[in-house]
Structures are given as structure tokens and as C-alpha cells.
A and B are shown apart, each in its own frame.
Chain A
Amino acid sequence: MTRIDSKFAALKAEGKKAFVAYVMAGDPDYETSMEIVKGLPGAGVDIIELGIPFTDPMADGPTIQLAGQRALEAGQTLERTLQMVREFRTGDDETPIVLMGYYNPIFNRGVERFLTDARQAGVDGLIVVDLPPEEDDELCIPAQKAGINFIRLATPTTDDARLPKVLTNTSGFVYYVSITGITGAADAQAADVGPEVARIKAHTELPVVVGFGIKTPEAAQAIAGVADGAVVGSAIVGLIGEGKSPAEVLAFVRSLSDGAHRA
């Protein structure tokens, strides 16, 4: 059982949906980012997704791209991202943390070394956008062996024939990408998402959480209503980009989590 498994069990017992918040590690700088991340559980966040900055985020829209650039310019590295997790864990040993990003910084560090460090730091799961099931030997299998969940993306182009392949070796939860597109683009529609979530759930016992294109408390509520949870990233990261204070960012996060928890 990872912290992710425990969290979903607890939410299920309470009859609540999960609210997942994404922020880019080190955006706009280490200290501010740390302050925001530490405040997320208090703002109702059930699971934290922490972005690993990368120069070439090819599945992300402009909002997340710019966040990565700000973090890199402020000196963020994979080591400092792991350091953020270590620092967070000194005050919170319950909230699951999922690192989300692209493979190259991890490959560059060395998979075994990264997994050992991530596990010790208190990372619970990984979402690596450019590692489809065809490349499971790279990181997915070693991560599972190291006791870290490997969370897979399922998308509108993942048909029924392919779903079992995508779900094999997935653990923690399934992340359904609500649109064909990049982060922060078109709005997710609950009417489209509901049947897709049902389709995935027919193939797996894992919770299905939906992300991409969710920007408001109302949308978080509507989407969480047809799934096991909702993820918001770009809308939060956009506020950080506008230079809003951690308190203002966290107030917005609170409105989103309230929305999702009403579902």
C-alpha cells in the first residue's frame, strides 16, 4: 500500500471524490513553490502532483511551458525537486506526492539512482508523459519493483483493444486525459468524459481520475461527479505565473477542492 492507495481507500470510506492539484516544482522559485506546496493539503488537496521542469515539454500548453521555464531559470533541478519532497515530508507524512514530467531528466540521473532517491524522499507515484506501455522496461517495471506507483495516462484515442495494454502495469490510479490535446487547452465536458470513465472502469478496479481542460470549481465538480476525482493544473499554475501570492493561489485551490468535494 502506498500513500496513494491509502488515500483512495479513505476517500471511498467517506464517500468523497479526490481532488488532485498540479504545480510545477520550483515555480517561480524554490521558496515560493515550497510555501505553496506545503499549503496544498490545508487547501483541501488530496493528492499533490509535482511537475519536474523540462526544457521540451511537448504535451504541455503555454501555461505549463512557461512555468517550467521560470523554474529552470530560478535554478530548479531534479535534485532540488526531490529536496522539495524531502522538506514537505518533514511536516506531512500522509498526503501522496506524484512526480509528473518527461523521461529525460530521470534517464539522465540514472533510473535506479532516481528511484532510490525518490523512494527515500517520500515520492509515491510517477507520471511520465513520454513513456507509453511499449517502453515499460525503461522505468515502469523498475518503479513498481521499488514500491512506487506508475500512473498511466489513458486518452480518447486509447480504444478498447488497447486499454488492457495501457492498464497492465498501471498502479495507484488511472489518469484519464479528457481531450486530445495539450494541457490547459479546450474545456473538458462531463457529458463526454462520463462514458469514457465508465469504459475504463469496465477494465480495471483502479480509481480513474480525470485531468486536462478543468479550470473552474464548477468544472471540477462536474468532472469529479462522473469519475473518482479531478486534476487541475494550468488554472493554478496560471495564477502563479501572474505573480499571485501563495495565499491567493491557495484560496483558489480551496475553491477548486470544495467544488470537487461537492461532487
Chain B
Amino acid sequence: MTDLFNSFMSGPDEHGRFGEFGGRFVSETLMPLILELEAEYEKAKNDPSFWAEMDDLWKHYVGRPSPLYFAPRLTEHLGGAKIYLKRDELNHTGAHKINNVLGQILLARRMGKTRIIAETGAGQHGVATATVCARFGLKCVVYMGAHDVERQAPNVFRMRLLGAEVVPVTSGRGTLKDAMNDALRDWVTNVRDTFYCIGTVAGPHPYPAMVRDFQSVIGREVRWQLAEQEGEGRLPDTVIAAIGGGSNAMGLFHPFLDEPSVRIIGVEAGGKGVNEKFEHCASLTGGRPGVLHGNKTYLLQDDDGQILEGFSISAGLDYPGIGPEHAWLHETGRAEYVAITDAEALEAFQLCCAQEGIIPALEPSHALAHVMKIAPNLPADHIIVMNMCGRGDKDIFTVARHLGFDIDTGA
């Protein structure tokens, strides 16, 4: 019991709870499979051969470890803290998503599942899943909101090239949460041969813990990489990451939860501003606890408990919930959560291009925007590590539109 009170890293409990958050809120049809998955994951987690296979793929297929890069011009420009970027945008498929997908697909293979389903918003998790399915010759079906299919056409084409079937979701309002609903409906129908590869630290237990464990490679690398560059035992003073569902953030944060000197900041998508009109996706700063997609967590919802649509310039943050472990870290105060608006993220996006020659995705641009706010007021020996969780190629069309640049005519 003592451990539970002294450690932030021992969760979830045997019921899949982080404090009151998490759990297994799924229909009975799925429950036996969820329990089987939990047992299989426990086995795999303690099997060195599972991690040996992961390490091999991470190294040779994904390109890990991703560099921990000191950003000299950003640091100088902001004139305060020393800024490091964890370059997960250099992974194969251009984002952190593949870290987790590899783990889940290896697990699916162990369980004898032959058909993989996934949901995707911006398309990054869908592309990562289609990629790994192609690598292992598995059938792949990706559910994607009809609206996202339209605005993310290049990723739809990528998934099809990789052999996946992309199903445009028109149920509900045709967004990421509806894509997740349809994936769950598929799963409940094809439960015997299908594995649901969830893209973030949400869903029923064991998904939040399992996805976190697969993404924690990010934070573990940061620990030794920073020690290499700054001296043995040197920890970051602040770690910071963007949050939609929260998988890249959980991956960076988790290895530092029990280091009290490390300040932990999650950045939510503030859209047009966190207000009562809900034109944002900031579940923690602008929502309250509820139950959706298999877990209890903070949600955007109305007075009747109906789920609201989020709003963000970044399709990857456009989700009305957040991983349950974040909800718990928020309530315990171990991590801070802030919101950044579309306009602030766009400014950070441009600054990163100009100062470091890195075109970031809109998701980490939110994290960078918060770095821009805090770095100038911190001393030069304060080290910030920010997760550059995705590259911006997918977002140049959106950004062009907001900056008034016609990408077809070049004017």
C-alpha cells in the first residue's frame, strides 16, 4: 500500500483505475476479450523476447532512438531557459504513433488475431497502423470521420497505398469520436478474430496503461540522452507536451512522475479560446468527469451528459476526452495542464520553421507555444524538454489557408 501513496508510477490498480479514473466501461460482449488482452499483455510485458522484438523494430524499422536536440536559436530567441526538442517527428511515418502501434500489433500476433481495426482523426495513427499491418501482412481497416477523410486526403491515400481499407464514418457527426464509436461497433461484431489498435492512452483498461508503456520509450530515452549531453544525473527541469488523447505526453511524462524536481506540463488545444461556447478541445481545463469509450475521465459535455464536439485547428487534438491517467495527474496536481489557442499555435509553428528549420505538426506547435510563454522568464540553467511528436507535412495545407497562401497557385 505504501507504494501507492509514494509513487505516481504504480497505477493503474487491479481495476484499471488511476484514482477514480479509467476502468472498464464496455459492453459484456467485449469484456471477455478485454480480460484476455489484459492477461496477454501482462505475459508479454514480462517476457524479454517480446521487448527484444520491440527494440529491434524500434531501432531498424522506426529509427529509434529519436534524437534529443538542443535548439540553440529558439533558446537564444526566447532568451531564457535552455530548450531541447525530443525529435519523435523523425520516426518512420512522421510521428510518435508508431511506437505504440508496433507494440499492439506484436500483441495481436501473439493472440492469433488476423484482422486489425483502428480509428484515426488526422490520419497519423491510421497511417502508422496501416504501415505496421503491411509490414506483418495483416488485414487492416481504419475508421475515419467523413469530414476528416475530406480534409486529410493525403493520409487517406497513404493508408490505401499501404493496403488498408479506409471506412468514412458518417454516424453521429462524422468526427474522431464517432470513428471510435464505429470501431467499437466493428469490434463487438467481429470480436473473435479482430484486434482493436487504439491510438491513444484512452479506452478500457488495459489500453491506457499499455499504450503509455509503449510510448514511455520517449521519456526513457530523454533520461539517458540528457544525461549524456548535460552530465550524469541531470534531469530536465520542465517536460512539456501537447495533449489530445494524451499518448505522446504520457510517454514523455511517465518516467519522470516520481522525480519531484521535474515540472510536468500538458498543453491542451484551446481552439478559439476556452469558454462556455466549447470552441476548444481542452477536456481538463474546460470539461468535467464522465464516462465515454470505455473509461471514466474528463469530457466535454453539456448539462445533460451529452458529449460535445471539440474544436481545434489541429485534427489530431480534436477529441472531447483525455486519457484517464492525465485526469488523475490533473486532480492530484502532479502535472499542470494549460490551454493554447489556434492563433498561438500558428505563431509557434512559424517560429519553429524560421528559427530551427523544423516544420512541426500543429499538435506539438501547441506545446511550443507554451514554451514560448514560459521560457523567457526562466533562468539560463533551466532545462525544458519538449516533445516534437510529429512533423508538419500533413498540416501545410491548413496552415497555408490560415496564412492566406494559395497552395495551388503559389501566390
Q: Which of A56, A109, A132, A162 contacts B181 (CB 8 A)?
A: A56
In chain B, what residue has the closest Cβ to A66?
B171
Separation in Å of the B155 CB from the closest CB of chain A?
24
Does B171 contact A130, Cβ atoms closer than 8 Å? Answer: no
Given A104-B292, A157-B32, the answer on whether A131 and B171 have CB atoms closer than 8 Å is: no
Q: In the complex, are the beta carbons of A58 and B293 less than 8 A apart?
A: yes
Contact, CB under 8 Å: B32 / A59: no
- Say how far A158's CB is from chain B's closest CB, in angstroms: 6
Taking a contact as CB atoms under 8 Å apart, the answer to whether A129 and B27 are in contact is yes
- Known contacts A58-B188, A103-B25; 6 additional CB pairs below 8 A are A59-B27, A59-B185, A107-B289, A131-B25, A132-B27, A180-B191
Q: Is the CB of B188 within 8 A of A159?
A: no
Query: Do A130 and B294 touch (CB < 8 A)?
Result: yes
Nearest Cβ on chain A to B234's Cβ, whole angstroms:
43
3 shortest interchain CB distances as A-B pairs: A108-B305, A105-B305, A181-B189
> Given that A58-B181, A58-B293, A158-B32 are contacting pairs, would A130 and B27 also be in contact in the complex, using a CB cutoff of 8 Å?
yes
With contacts A130-B26, A132-B31, A181-B188 taken as known, whether A55 is within 8 angstroms of B290 at the C-beta atoms is no
Contact of B307 among A55, A155, A181 (CB under 8 A): A55
The answer on a CB contact under 8 Å between A104 and B307 is yes
Does the CB pair B185–A182 fall under 8 Å? Answer: yes
* Pair B171/A65 contact, Cβ less than 8 Å: yes
Residues of A within 8 A of B292 (CB): 56, 104
A78 touches B27 (CB 8 A): no
Q: Mark A168-188, 1 if CB is under 8 A from B, else 0.
A: 000000000100111001000
Closest A residue to B170 by beta carbon equals: A62
B304 interface contact, C-beta 8 A: yes
> Does B185 lie within 8 Å of A157, measured CB to CB?
no
A166: CB under 8 A from chain B? yes
Q: Which residue of A lies closest to B178 (CB)?
A: A56
When chains A and B are docked, how far (Å) is the Cα of A152 from the Cα of B27? 10
Which residues from chain B contact A242 at a C-beta distance below 8 Å? none
Q: Are B28 and A166 in contact, CB atoms less than 8 angstroms apart?
A: yes
- In the complex, the answer to whether A104 meets B305 with C-beta atoms within 8 Å is yes
A77 close to chain B: CB less than 8 A: yes
B307 close to A108 (CB less than 8 A)? no
Name the interface residues of B59-107: CB closer than 8 Å to any CB of A: none
Chain A, 9-64, CB within 8 A of any chain B CB: 54-62
Whole-angstrom distance between the Cβ of A131 and the nearest chain B Cβ: 7
Tell me the bound Cα distance from A205 to B322 in angstroms. Answer: 42
| 21 A-B pairs with C-beta separation under 8 A | A54-B305, A55-B172, A56-B172, A56-B178, A58-B180, A58-B293, A65-B172, A103-B25, A103-B291, A104-B299, A105-B304, A108-B304, A129-B27, A130-B25, A132-B24, A132-B28, A134-B15, A134-B31, A158-B28, A162-B31, A182-B188
Which A residues are CB-close (under 8 A) to B25?
103, 130-132, 135
Q: Are A157 and B293 in contact, CB atoms less than 8 angstroms apart?
A: no
Cβ of A57: which chain B residues have Cβ within 8 Å of it?
181
Q: Are B171's CB and A62's CB within 8 A?
A: yes
Q: How far is the CB of A102 from chain B (nearest CB, A)?
A: 8
Determine if B184 is an interface residue (Cβ-Cβ < 8 Å): yes
Residues of chain B with a CB closer than 8 A to A181's CB: 29, 188-189
Give the complex CA separation of A163 and B196 in angstroms.
24
* Nearest-CB residue, chain B, relative to A182: B185
Chain A at the B interface: mostly helix, strand, loop or mixed? loop
- Known contacts being A54-B306, A72-B306, A78-B305, is A180 close to B290, with CB within 8 Å? no
Residues of B within 8 A of A60 (CB): 185
B152 at the interface (CB under 8 A from A): no
A153 contacts partner chain B, Cβ-Cβ < 8 Å:
yes
Most interface-central of B178, B181, B192 (chain A CB within 10 A): B181
Quick check: A59 and B304 within 8 Å, CB to CB?
no
Interface centre among A65, A106, A132, A159 (most CB of B within 10 A): A132
Question: Considering the chains assembled together, what is the distance between the CA atoms of A69 and B181 in angstroms?
Answer: 15
Report the minimum CB–CB distance from A214 to chain B (whole Å). Answer: 17
A59 and B291 form a contact (CB under 8 A) = no
Q: Would you give the shortest CB distance from B33 to chain A, in whole angstroms?
A: 7
**What is the interface of chain A, defined by CB distance below 8 A to chain B?**
54-62, 65, 69, 72, 77-79, 102-109, 129-135, 152-159, 162, 166, 177, 180-182, 185
B residues 178-230 touching A (CB-CB < 8 Å): 178, 180-181, 184-185, 188-192
Q: Which residues of B contact A (CB under 8 A)?
A: 15, 23-33, 171-172, 177-178, 180-181, 184-185, 188-192, 289-294, 296, 299, 301, 303-307
Query: In the bound complex, what is the Cα–Cα distance between A78 and B292 (angstroms)?
Result: 17
- Cβ contact of B290, chosen from A107, A133, A185, cutoff 8 A: A107
Give the nearest-CB partner of A153 in chain B.
B28
CB distance from B59 to the nearest CB of A (A): 38
Which of A130, A153, A162, A180 interacts with B189 by CB under 8 Å?
A180
Min CB–CB distance A177 → chain B (angstroms) = 7
Q: Let me know if B29 and A155 touch, CB within 8 A.
A: yes
CB neighbours (8 Å) of A129 from chain B are 27
User: Are the C-beta atoms of A56 and B177 separated by less than 8 Å?
Assistant: yes
The distance in angstroms between the C-alpha atoms of A5 and B164, with both chains bound, is: 51
**Cα distance, A109 to B184, chains bound together (Å):** 25
Q: What's the Cα separation between A61 and B185 when bound, in Å?
A: 8
Q: Are B28 and A177 neighbours in the complex by a CB distance under 8 Å?
A: yes
| A130→B301 CA distance, assembly (Å) | 18
Given A55-B172, A65-B172, A104-B291, A180-B192 contact (CB < 8 Å):
yes
B23 CB to closest chain A CB (Å) equals: 6
Residues from chain A with Cβ under 8 Å of B185 in the complex: 58-61, 182
- B189, A182: Cβ atoms closer than 8 Å: yes
Q: B30: which A residues are within 8 A, CB to CB?
A: 157
Nearest Cβ on chain B to A189's Cβ, whole angstroms: 16
Cα(A105)–Cα(B190), bound, Å: 28
Q: Which chain B residue lies CB-closest to A157?
A: B32
CB pair B191 A157 closer than 8 Å? yes
Q: Are B290 and A177 in contact (CB under 8 A)?
A: no
> In the complex, A6 Cα to B22 Cα: how many Å?
38
Quote the shortest CB–CB distance from B14 to chain A (angstroms).
Answer: 10
Determine the chain A residues whose CB is within 8 A of the CB of B303 once the complex forms. 108
Smallest beta-carbon distance A15→chain B, Å: 30
Known: A56-B177, A56-B181, A107-B290. A162 touches B32 (CB 8 A): yes
